[in-house]
Amino acid sequence: MERTLVIIKPEAVAKKLVGKIISIYEDNRLEIIHAHRVLATKEVLEKHYEAHKGKDFFDGLVQFMSSSEVVVLILEGENVVDIVREINGATNPQKALPGTIRYMFGETIEANAVHGSESVEAAENEIAIWRDLIRFES
Ligand code: CMP
């Protein structure tokens, strides 16, 4: 079954938006098979964001994502990667469509409430990267 990884970012956790964000996924009939609140290590984040290494925002992004706790979710279902990306909305909250999570809760391109895997391959890679930190079965 297809899986995807969502990270509820530090500012959204600090603003107590976890319940609201999880409800949006569940209201779209998605299955949350794992949820874990954790302070991400730079080591895990550098692997998670490896595709962005060398970009001017990389160091700031790793710093921000490790600044306070995040909530890592694993969701499962048919076509879940694309469905979650649609629900999350565009990376830049200013470009996100009304009704999407980033439109409603995103502050900046960095503090954009949630991360969602870009592809099935990226999702499995990210789940493997976070496994050490969030410990789950299967
Ligand atoms: P995320 O889904 O977590 O994956 C990569 C992140 O890089 C992205 O969301 C943004 O929060 C962050 N980011 C910061 N600056 C930029 C930028 N200029 N362009 C794209 N992504 C950016």
The residue ranges of every structural domain in the chain are: 3-134
**111 close to ligand 1 (CB < 6 Angstrom):** no
- Min mean pLDDT across 18-27, 86-95, 124-133 is at 124-133
Testing ligand 1's pocket by substitution, the residue of 44, 58, 61 carrying the most ligand atoms inside 8 A of its CB is 61
Split at pLDDT 50, 70, 90, the class of 138 is: low
Q: Which fold would CATH assign to domain 3-134?
A: Alpha-Beta Plaits (3.30.70)
Tell me, using a 6 A CB cutoff, whether residue 2 lines ligand 1. no
Is residue 99 predicted with pLDDT exceeding 90? yes
Q: So what's the ipTM on this one?
A: 0.94
When pLDDT is cut at 50, 70 and 90, the band that residue 137 belongs to is low
pLDDT tens per residue, range 11-60: 999 999 999 999 999 999 999 999 999 999 999 999 999 999 999 999 99
Instruction: Determine which residue's CA is closest to atom 3 belonging to ligand 1.
Output: 115
Distances (CA, A) of 50 to 45, 53, 58, 71, 87: 8, 5, 9, 20, 24
CA angle 105, 119, 14 (to 5 degrees): 25
Mutate to test the pocket of ligand 1, among 7, 67, 110, 117 (most ligand atoms within 8 A of CB): 110
Query: Rounded to the nearest whole angstrom, what is the distance from the C-alpha of residue 78 to the centroid of ligand 1?
Result: 26
Span 84-101, average pLDDT? 98
Mean pLDDT, residues 88-105: 98
Q: Tell me: pLDDT of 133 over 90.
A: no
Average pLDDT over residues 99-126: 98
Burial class (CB within 10 angstroms; exposed 0-12, middle 13-18, buried 19+) of 137:
exposed
